[in-house]
Amino acid sequence: MNEEKNLSIKEALKLQLRAMKLIHSLDRSLFPIIGLANIFSSVTPFILIWFSARILNELAGKRNPDTIWRWVILTVVITGMISLLSYGLQRLEEYHRKKVRADREIPFMNKMFDMDYCDMADDKTNALRAQIRQSENWGGYGIFYSISTFESVIKSITGIISAVTLTASLFTAKVPESSERYVILNNPLFIALFLGLMLLLAFISGRLFGYVGKLKALQADGARMGNRIFGRFGFFGIFGVNSDVDTRIYKQNRIAKEYMLAYRHEGYGLWGPFIKMTRGKGGIAYATAGSLSNIFTGVVYTFTCLKALGGAFGVGLITQYVGAATTLSGNLTDLFKTISDIKTNGNFLRTCFEFLDIPNSMYQGSLTTEKRNDRKYEVEFKNVSFKYPGTDTWALRNVSMKFNVGNRVAVVGENGSGKTTFIKLLCRLYDPQEGEILLNGINIKKYNYRDYMDIFSIVFQDFQLLSQPLGNNVTGCLDYDKDRVINALTDAGFENRLNELPDGLNTLLYRDFDDNGVNISGGEAQKIAIARALYKDAPFLILDEPTAALDPIAEAEIYSQLNQIVDDRTAVYISHRLSSCRFCDEILVFDHGSIVETGSHEELVNHVNGKYNALWNAQAQYYA
Ligand code: ADP
């Protein structure tokens, strides 16, 4: 899996910048504000250190009350103003962070909407999306982690610059020659040793902190699985009425309990690898990193105090140098840690961009479809063969046929014979690997994708309605032509129910958001889905098992109206109930991915030994 690869720092920085660019496109103020807020907040302690040193120097030296007052007032006013500004900026930063957090799904949702259907339906794509979401949920890794790494970089670099400014004179201030014992401290070797030690300790402790982060990130796969198990079984029986009934009847909680126990002991619960890691390598690394910074504070104290003792500077400056040098080492440590973090997160970012960069091939066509009032759109399949991505078997093989304008075509065949696949290719949800599909003589790949989609109204078996008002469901928008919606609902056989609804077209479907919502039956939902297809008023109307959820009376109603509803459109029905295909002009019989027979009901039923005849007789025995 990607997340284990060791990235170079250059690659990691590139990914970090790309993630920042993406976040910047969601909110252009966030990074400037974070930058300013962190510059202010990390400069503030140094200002206080600098002023305190002046006050202490005066107290330990001339003790002039006027000078002391001046320093005190200046300290209070300046630090007060900077703190005020810094807090103001922090509030602003909080607001923009929340805004970006709320919008964080937008790039992923846009990608899902624009992606080729075949990629969207691919299990690999969904696994990638789930992986990205879960890494973000359990460790905060991914695109938005780059906000905190940016923040750390700004903070530590500002801290380093301020601290270097305040500590420079620690090295340049000379112990007077008169102080014989301490003159050795003026030796540049001492200074080099001191600086070298600081860099080394900061580097080691930064890397150790980074290592702890990496150890955590290496648990990504297991932690994701742990979260999935917890998500599925942790709340078992609490959510979902259906699963609750099953849980009670079959006592499924016993299985869930076993899983949860295994999860706690061997997985990612209380006794899992995280705790082991904290006690083992991770804990040792963390403790060592923490103690190294304390060792450094000791070294700073010794060096500074010895120099003060030798007379290089006054007592007041000891606080300045110790404070600034300790913060310098802390900031160096943070910078090294952040570099490790950027590398660790780089692997998660690669997964994010792998998803966001999935190429789009369906949108290459640029030809606009002719807008024809006569609906004369003729589609032809020419020797079309298709395999689903990642499979070796042909779902469709050498399919050739032509939809004559205005015809009613039934598509029949056993389960798995290729009916739905045929429709998916017709609507260009997938492109065939062999052969071509033509619209008015031109390969459909050459047309603008959205334009081509506009010529189809489809009701799939697994259609979805939204917890939204009825009118919005039918039209897919907030403003609509009420009369047209009512006509579509009437044509779909929903008129009586519509008249009973308390708020007519404004009635909210389902109760997810409001107790006043109306729960509708499967059959009613199917009628609304049919109305939605009719409202779109496309030249092709495709109904996949249009009446599967309807009771026999509603089914008879729909079929008796279908001819009138379809009007001059080309209509395609996928149906298992062969009796409902009788009114069609043409029937396509699918078997093992190929069209094995075509003709009218009368022609096909009389074809003894034919597939249609066999299917017809198999069904007829139940009606006899
Ligand atoms: P029908 O609609 O006639 O029941 P389908 O067109 O759904 O048949 O399926 C045709 C063949 O393609 C079957 O062998 C089925 O298993 C396979 N198939 C359908 N959908 C997928 C998919 N998303 N991925 C892989 N194979 C699929």
Q: In this predicted model, what pLDDT tens digit does every residue of 256-315 receive, in sequence order?
A: 777 777 766 665 665 677 777 778 888 999 999 888 878 888 888 888 999 888 888 888
| Backbone φ, ψ for residue 413 (5° rounding) | 150, 165
User: b/e for 109-132, b at 16 or more Cβ within 10 A?
Assistant: eebbeebbebbbebeebeebbebb
DSSP reduced 3-state for 456: strand
Q: Hey, whose CA ends up nearest to atom 10 of ligand 1?
A: 418
Give yes or no for residue 417 CB within 6 A of ligand 1. Answer: yes
Q: Which of 420, 429, 433, 589 to mutate to test the pocket of ligand 1 (most atoms within 8 A of CB)?
A: 420
The whole-angstrom separation of Cα 16 and Cα 10 is 10
* pLDDT, greater one: 180 or 325: 325
Percentage of residues in the chain with pLDDT exceeding 70?
Answer: 92
pLDDT at position 25: 96
Sign of CA dihedral 417, 419, 424, 427: positive
What number does the ligand 1 atom closest to the CA of 590 have? 3
Q: Does the C-beta of 564 come closer than 6 Å to ligand 1?
A: no
Query: What is the per-residue pLDDT for 513?
Result: 84
Residues 71-100 have a mean pLDDT of 91
State the pLDDT at residue 579: 77
In contact, 532 and 474? CB cutoff 8 Å: yes
Closest residue to atom 13 of ligand 1, CA basis:
416
Range from 311-320, 405-414, 423-432, 591-600 carrying the lowest mean pLDDT: 311-320
**pLDDT > 90? residue 569:** no
Q: Which atom of ligand 1 is nearest the CA belonging to 417?
A: 3
Distance from the alpha carbon of residue 215 to the mean position of ligand 1, in angstroms:
43
Region of 237 on the Ramachandran plot (φ > 0 left; ψ -120 to 50 alpha; else beta): left
| pLDDT at residue 215 greater than cutoff 90 | no
Q: Cα of 395 to ligand 1 centre, how many Å?
A: 6
Range with the lowest mean pLDDT among 234-243, 347-356, 434-443? 234-243
pLDDT at position 132 is: 93
Q: Render pLDDT for 385-395 as a digit per residue (tens, 0 to 9).
A: 999 988 999 99
pLDDT at site 472: 93
Q: CB–CB of 208/333 below 8 Å?
A: no
Beta-carbon neighbour count of residue 84 at 10 Å?
Answer: 11
**Nearest atom of ligand 1 to the alpha carbon of 422:** 6
Ligand 1 proximity of 421 Cβ (cutoff 6 Å): yes
Q: Across-strand partners of 555?
A: none
Q: Give one DSSP letter per residue of 87-148, joined into a string.
A: HHHHHHHHHHHHHHHHTTTHHHHHHHHHS-HHHHT-HHHHHHHHHHHHHHHHH--STTHHHH
575 lines ligand 1 (CB under 6 A): no
Match 């789930």 to its residue by tokens: 130
Q: What is the 3-state secondary structure (H, E, C) of 227-282?
A: HHHHHHHHCCCCCCHHHHHHHHHHCCHHHHHHHHHHHHHCCCCCCCHHHHHHHCHH
Q: Is the CB of 418 under 6 A from ligand 1?
A: yes
Q: Give the pLDDT confidence score for residue 556 in this predicted structure.
A: 67
User: From the CB of 413, is ligand 1 less than 6 Å away?
Assistant: yes
Q: If residue 399 lies in a helix (H) or strand (E), which one and from where to where?
A: strand 396-403
Q: Is residue 470 a contact partner of residue 507, using CB atoms and an 8 Å limit?
A: yes
Least confident stretch, 60-64, 216-220, 240-244, 360-364: 240-244
pLDDT at 2: 45
Atom 23, ligand 1: residue with shortest CA distance? 388
What pLDDT is recorded for position 5?
64
Q: What is the mean pLDDT of residues 479-487?
A: 91
Task: State yes or no: pLDDT of 1 exceeds 50.
Answer: no
